[in-house]
């Protein structure tokens, strides 16, 4: 798993997480979606809570788990480190 | 009813004792004073951010919102967490530019990005002005704590003066210790204000005989489960969008929230600190919302929605639990006011005074301390004078619409290479003027625009002005090269290495980075 994540291109990781992050952003910012999520009558209850509450709870949980997953992936790919293991190449700045 | 005062006194004493124990007795420079020496790990960054974000009003005004309007209370959860993702995504550039160029404030970063002190001055003045109404409201909110603790026996003036005295005395330590004092106390205050508060919510929800049992949620009236914007609510469909969008992009426009990035020990700390902050904010505000909705049909909550938190805790656990509830509000309020005053003083010294009259390191520290004292004194006087002023809420709303105008140059400047100093400056000025003028007429939503708020219209004007002016004035080849180099130096070392560049870029030495000369013990 670790090697597989390290082998992915930066572009692939960016695309996957961009698509995933669009979901919680859209849930909170696209009027037809949030109005739909809140349109269930008070009778529609799941596990003791109205559907309109679950809508926002799930949005919050999605944000947390996506952020946590992105941090994990970037850490495995050593993108959060301030140092690299190999000798610096010359050139550039 | 003396018990709440005992709990308040114990908590207050613990905060002051922590500050006394953790103060540095050796010499500190302005870097240490302003950004805590850039050495704090994720837990401190996470809690410190949440303290800068959630004031004591969450337990009063937002709980009242939940009791009155229901699930609209969730909008704050959505924008708080989505706004935090911005901190994660800008971590590479914001922190690395900060470390390399010894940046100490958000306007300082804008100056670097746009190579313009004008952009820095506009952003700094907007930030300092926008913070003031919230400090005033924070001080006035303290009055409610003493009103509740005294069971209404003390007059409003007495409660206000006592509340202000508590904050003013506490400020001695913020002025003396700067960012380090703030971060240390944020941790203790935050644990009580957010984590213990969430635990109390869970306990009350779990008890069938409490004022807010979880079982109540299954029987909420329809008006509490629907959102403004739905048919018959009187709001346009874009109203909730406006509230959440402004919150998301405004999250890091607030100087005190952005400042947390510079206190981190590295990009990794900023990013993991963001994950911590999302967790803390989500747990706290999520449970507070569920608790509030469960209490929303309780007669005492309907009678006095803004006192729901206090009355529910007293009903469930008596005066000792009420004392703990008061302490949570105190912890959140103190952290928010402290952070606001610290960053206002810092920006006055670093971005304004230092711009017109270059100062040495120790002079910057003295000016920052003096600015904090003056800023606090002005806020305290205004808090007293305006306690009965109904329009203060309008001023606070206006200041929110104002501060989010910083987000256009901030986001476009950090996430794209497009735009120049003229676009950034003109955009902020145009957006601010439009937002302020429209707020006078439409403090809430603008029905003719589908529920958009004045701040959102200001943002659109800001964005269009930024784009048009930047395109018309263009960007020189020299400036393009400078911006390209800035973006390259902010790349993670592993990516720089892949491009054949030196992985690590060292700090640039500036005139401000002179030897430390001031002793903590020598300053007032």
Find the closest chain A residue to B286 by CA distance: A57
Q: Which two tokens stand for residue B96?
A: 């690395």
Q: Left if phi > 0, otherwise alpha if psi is -120 to 50, otherwise beta: which for B419?
A: left
pLDDT tens track for A32-71: 999 888 876 556 889 999 999 999 999 999 999 999 999 9
B511 touches chain A (CB under 8 A): no
CB-neighbour burial class of residue B211 (10 A; exposed 0-12, middle 13-18, buried 19+):
buried
Could you give the CA distance from residue B152 to residue A40 in angstroms, rounded to a whole number? 41
Q: H or E segment at B362?
A: helix B361-385
Residue B367 phi, psi (nearest 5):
-65, -40
State whether B244 and A59 contact (CB < 8 Å): no
Chosen for mutation from B84, B227, B502 (greatest number of chain A CBs closer than 10 Å) is: B227
Contact B105, B361 (CB under 8 A): no
Q: Which two tokens stand for residue B13?
A: 């004493």
Chosen for mutation from A14, A29, A46 (greatest number of chain B CBs closer than 10 Å) is: A29
**Helices and strands, counts by H and E, chain B:** 25, 4
Helix (H, G, I), strand (E, B) or coil at B220: coil
Residue B510 to chain A, least CA–CA distance (Å): 18
Could you give the CA distance from residue B14 to residue B248 in angstroms, rounded to a whole number? 34
- Bridge partners of B230? B228
Q: At what angle do helices B91-100 and B477-489 cross, to 10 degrees?
A: 100
Chain B stretch 252-311, residues whose beta carbon is closer than 8 A to a beta carbon of chain A: 266-268, 271-272, 274-275, 278-279, 282, 286, 289-290, 293
Find the closest chain B residue to A46 by CA distance: B218
State whether A35 and B88 contact (CB < 8 Å): no
State whether A84 and B278 contact (CB < 8 Å): no
State whether B225 and A25 contact (CB < 8 Å): no
Residue (of A74, A32, A1, A87) closest to B91 by Cα position? A74
Could you give the CA distance from residue B468 to residue B490 in angstroms, rounded to a whole number? 27
Could you give the CA distance from residue B474 to residue B293 in angstroms, rounded to a whole number? 53
Could you give the CA distance from residue B426 to residue B465 in angstroms, rounded to a whole number? 7
Find the closest chain B residue to A23 by CA distance: B82
State whether B244 and A63 contact (CB < 8 Å): no
Could you give the CA distance from residue B309 to residue B63 in angstroms, rounded to a whole number? 7
A54 touches chain B (CB under 8 A): no
Kindly give the confidence (pLDDT) of every residue in chain B, 524 residues in length, as a single tens digit, with 9 standing for 90 and above: 778 788 888 888 888 888 888 776 666 788 888 888 888 999 999 999 999 899 888 898 889 989 998 898 999 999 999 999 999 999 999 999 999 999 999 999 999 999 999 999 999 999 999 999 888 888 887 888 888 888 888 888 888 888 878 887 887 877 777 788 888 889 999 999 999 999 999 999 999 999 999 999 999 988 888 888 777 777 888 888 888 998 898 888 889 888 899 999 999 999 999 999 999 999 999 999 999 999 999 999 999 998 999 999 999 999 999 999 999 999 998 888 888 998 999 999 999 999 999 888 889 989 998 999 899 889 888 888 887 766 666 777 788 888 899 999 999 999 999 999 999 999 999 999 999 899 888 887 788 888 788 889 999 999 999 999 999 999 999 999 999 999 999 988 888 888 888 887 777 654 444 433 333 333 33
Contact B29, B344 (CB under 8 A): no
B215 CB neighbours in chain A (<8 A) are 48
Could you give the CA distance from residue A58 to residue A81 in angstroms, rounded to a whole number? 31
Contact B257, B466 (CB under 8 A): no
Q: Which two tokens stand for residue B129?
A: 């002005």
Q: H or E segment at A51?
A: helix A51-76
**If you write DSSP's letter for every residue of B381-440 in order, what string do you get?**
HHHHHTTT-TTHHHHHHHHHHHHGGGHHHHHHHHH-S---HHHHHHHHHHHHHHHHHHHH
CB-neighbour burial class of residue B203 (10 A; exposed 0-12, middle 13-18, buried 19+):
middle
Residue B230 to chain A, least CA–CA distance (Å): 7
Could you give the CA distance from residue B45 to residue B264 in angstroms, rounded to a whole number? 7
Which among A56, A78, A93 has the least Cβ separation from residue B502? A93
A36 CB neighbours in chain B (<8 A) are none
What is the pTM for the complete model shown?
Answer: 0.88
State whether A89 and B244 contact (CB < 8 Å): no
State whether A79 and B218 contact (CB < 8 Å): no
Q: What is the length of chain B?
A: 524
B37 touches chain A (CB under 8 A): no
State whether B290 and A49 contact (CB < 8 Å): yes
């Amino acid at each position: 798993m670790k090697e597989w994540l390290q082998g992915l291109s930066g572009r692939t990781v960016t695309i996957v997480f961009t698509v995933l992050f669009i979901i919680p952003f859209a849930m909170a910012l696209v009027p037809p979606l949030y109005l739909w999520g809140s349109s269930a009558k008070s009778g529609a209850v799941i596990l003791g809570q109205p559907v309109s509450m679950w809508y926002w709870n799930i949005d919050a949980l999605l944000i947390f788990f996506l952020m946590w997953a992105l941090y994990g992936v970037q850490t495995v790919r050593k993108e959060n480190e301030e140092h690299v293991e190999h000798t610096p190449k010359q050139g550039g700045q | 009813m003396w018990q709440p005062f005992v709990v308040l006194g114990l908590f207050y004493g613990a905060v002051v004792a922590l500050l006394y124990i953790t103060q540095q007795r050796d010499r500190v420079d302005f870097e240490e004073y302003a950004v805590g020496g850039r050495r704090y790990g994720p837990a401190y960054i996470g809690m410190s951010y949440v303290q800068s974000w959630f004031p004591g009003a969450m337990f009063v005004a937002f709980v009242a919102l939940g009791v009155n309007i229901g699930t609209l209370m969730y909008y704050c959860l959505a924008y708080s967490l989505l706004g935090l993702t911005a901190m994660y995504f800008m971590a590479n550039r914001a922190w690395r530019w900060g470390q390399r160029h010894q940046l100490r404030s958000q306007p300082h970063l804008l100056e670097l990005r746009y190579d313009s002190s004008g952009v820095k001055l506009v952003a700094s003045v907007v930030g300092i002005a926008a913070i003031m109404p919230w400090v005033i409201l924070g001080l006035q909110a303290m009055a409610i704590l003493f009103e509740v603790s005294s069971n209404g026996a003390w007059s409003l003036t007495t409660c206000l003066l006592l509340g202000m005295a508590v904050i003013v005395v506490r400020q001695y330590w913020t002025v003396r210790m700067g960012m380090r004092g703030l971060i240390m106390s944020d941790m203790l205050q935050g644990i009580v204000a957010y984590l213990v508060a969430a635990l109390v919510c869970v306990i009350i929800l779990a008890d069938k005989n409490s004022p807010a049992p979880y079982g109540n949620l299954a029987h909420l009236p329809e008006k509490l489960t629907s959102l403004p914007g739905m048919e018959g609510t009187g709001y346009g469909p874009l109203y909730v969008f406006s509230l959440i969008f402004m919150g998301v992009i405004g999250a890091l426009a607030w100087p005190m929230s952005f400042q947390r990035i510079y206190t981190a020990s590295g990009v990794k700390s900023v990013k993991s600190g963001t994950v911590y902050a999302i967790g803390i904010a989500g747990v706290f505000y999520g449970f507070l919302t569920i608790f509030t909705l469960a209490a929303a049909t309780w007669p005492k909550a309907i009678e006095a929605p803004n006192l729901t938190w206090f009355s529910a805790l007293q009903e469930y656990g008596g005066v000792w639990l009420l004392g703990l509830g008061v302490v949570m509000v105190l912890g959140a309020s103190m952290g928010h006011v402290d952070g606001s005053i610290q960053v206002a003083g810092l920006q006055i010294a670093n971005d304004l005074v230092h711009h017109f009259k270059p100062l040495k390191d120790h002079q910057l520290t003295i000016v920052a301390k003096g600015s904090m004292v003056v800023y606090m004194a002005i806020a305290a006087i205004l808090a007293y004078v305006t306690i009965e002023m109904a329009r203060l809420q309008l001023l606070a709303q206006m200041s929110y619409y104002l501060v989010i105008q910083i987000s256009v140059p901030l986001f476009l400047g950090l996430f794209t290479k497009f735009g120049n100093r003229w676009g950034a400056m003109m955009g902020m000025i145009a957006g601010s003027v439009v937002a302020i003028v429209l707020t006078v007429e439409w403090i809430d939503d603008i029905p003719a625009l589908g529920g958009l708020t004045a701040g959102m219209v200001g943002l659109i004007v800001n964005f269009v002005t930024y784009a048009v002016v930047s395109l018309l004035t263009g960007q020189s080849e020299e400036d393009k090269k400078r911006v390209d180099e800035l973006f390259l130096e902010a790349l993670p070392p592993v990516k720089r290495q892949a491009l054949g560049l030196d992985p690590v870029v060292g700090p640039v030495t500036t005139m401000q980075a002179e030897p430390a000369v001031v002793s903590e013990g020598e300053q007032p």
